[in-house]
Amino acid sequence: MKMPPKTFPALATLAMFCLLTPCLEAGSLRETSAVRAVRRIAPSVVNISSEKTVSTENVLYSNRPGQKVSGMGTGVVVDRRGYIVTNHHVVAGVDWLRATLSDGSLHEARVVSFDRKADLAIIKIDVKRPLPEMPLGTSSDLMLAETVFAVGNAYGYKDTVTCGIISALHREVEVNEKQTYHNLIQTDASINPGNSGGPLINLEGDVVGINVAIRAGAQRIGFAIPIDDARRVIAKLIAVDRLNGTWHGIETRDDKKGQRRRLLVTGTTENSPAASSGLKNGDIILNSDKQPVIDAADFERSLLDRKAGSPINLTIIRAGKRSTLTLVLGDSDKIWRAFGMRLQVIKSRELQKRHGNEVLEHYDGGLRVTNIRKDGPAYSNGIRQGDDLVGLHEWAMVNRENVDWVLDHRELREFSPVKFWVLREGKTLFGHLPVTSSAR
């Protein structure tokens, strides 16, 4: 009987080692799903630094009025053109903002819109290359004890990663008399000062929340705004009628439940570009030109930088069938149509710098005239680019909503032409503005 050949244990061991070595070198045993998740989100995380002037005695910081206070926070990229979401409390009242990207580059940033109640803000940096956008998840199917990670600028330590679980859902948290949060995610992933505005991610690296608060005096009790709630606010903050002065008139609703993520058309405004396009209630918008659309935030950012009159090809599903419609953006700036001027919010501190300390006694802020139409009522009645609008009729003007409120007033015809007040080189000037018929 033939005997099998003798084996050589040392050689066999060496062969096995050679087979295993490439796997070890590739990192397959160490590169866990957690590592991959953090690696996926890291390029879109932004570290924020700021400085503000303490104008009154501040118990929190124990500073004297006039002192400079450094701040820190985190943001996450929502659009490749440099639009970043963070918490409003991170950017409120700051003198300057700087954003550090994952590649280490430092950029000046500016606040473009915010929602104080929701505690969210959009800031913008000017970049020459497309930025990596957040990997978008959903908070509609979060599970208790699901693993999550918080990424952010904790205590100024940039890109800090902490790990925990979903501790609870639908938390109501009252911070003070002015700020109450609703429907928050509670997590035991360590959230520290500086984490505010940063992403809470799941094991797939998808953003499921925006970190917002901690429980003072507690250990590992932190809170995040569910990403589905945050995205609805983001859609309003980057809406083109707010940032671009264009208009579509589409009424929509985000429909998200687990893997079902889509944007439903719920109606169109009468005589709007949307109504003219043929969109109907129940349509599902899949694409806006080349931009895939899964929610209203996607749709609004697809229209950023597009001018009035631009045709947009919308891919939709109606009654189970795919088709394409053309939406032509309109000029939605009611203020531009009514007065022939475009306005930008400025704060009382900037008014003080431009016009002197005494303005603080009279004005809480104003609206800078950034552009003016020479055939419009504003120019014809003495308003010039660079003026600061502070009043219309008998009301102070500190934001665009104030102007819209005047234009929508049911008694507008009775007090038109509207008396205005502007600041120019430290002087208060006034006049009257007739409202054109195209404003209503």
* Residues forming the active site: 89, 119, 196
Phi, then psi, of 30 in degrees rounded to 5: -105, -25
- How far apart CA 302 and CA 287 sit, in angstroms, is 9
Q: Where are the alpha helices (DSSP H) in 186-287?
A: 227-237, 240-243, 273-277
In one letter, which amino acid is 418?
V
Q: How far is residue 315 from each of residues 196, 286, 288, 289, 397, measured CA to CA in Å?
A: 37, 5, 7, 8, 40
Phi, then psi, of 401 in degrees rounded to 5: -60, -30
Q: Who's near 102: CB < 8 A, 6+ residues apart?
A: 42, 43, 44, 45, 46, 132, 159
Which helix (H) or strand (E) segment is 1 a member of?
Answer: none
Phi, then psi, of 136 in degrees rounded to 5: -90, 125
- Pick from 230, 292, 250, 272: nearest CA to 85: 230
Residue pair 435/416 in contact (Cβ under 8 Å)? The answer is: yes
- How far apart CA 196 and CA 361 sit, in angstroms, is 33
- How far apart CA 283 and CA 186 sit, in angstroms, is 35
- How far apart CA 103 and CA 433 sit, in angstroms, is 50
- How far apart CA 85 and CA 198 sit, in angstroms, is 8
Q: Return the DSSP state at 44.
A: G
| Cα 305 to chain centroid, rounded | 16
- Torsional sign, CA 355, 359, 360, 364: negative
Residue pair 74/151 in contact (Cβ under 8 Å)? The answer is: yes
Would you state the structure tokens that stand for residue 290, as one six-digit string? 């080349």
- How far apart CA 365 and CA 398 sit, in angstroms, is 5
In one letter, which amino acid is 286?
L
Would you state the structure tokens that stand for residue 425, as one six-digit string? 């080189």
- How far apart CA 102 and CA 158 sit, in angstroms, is 9
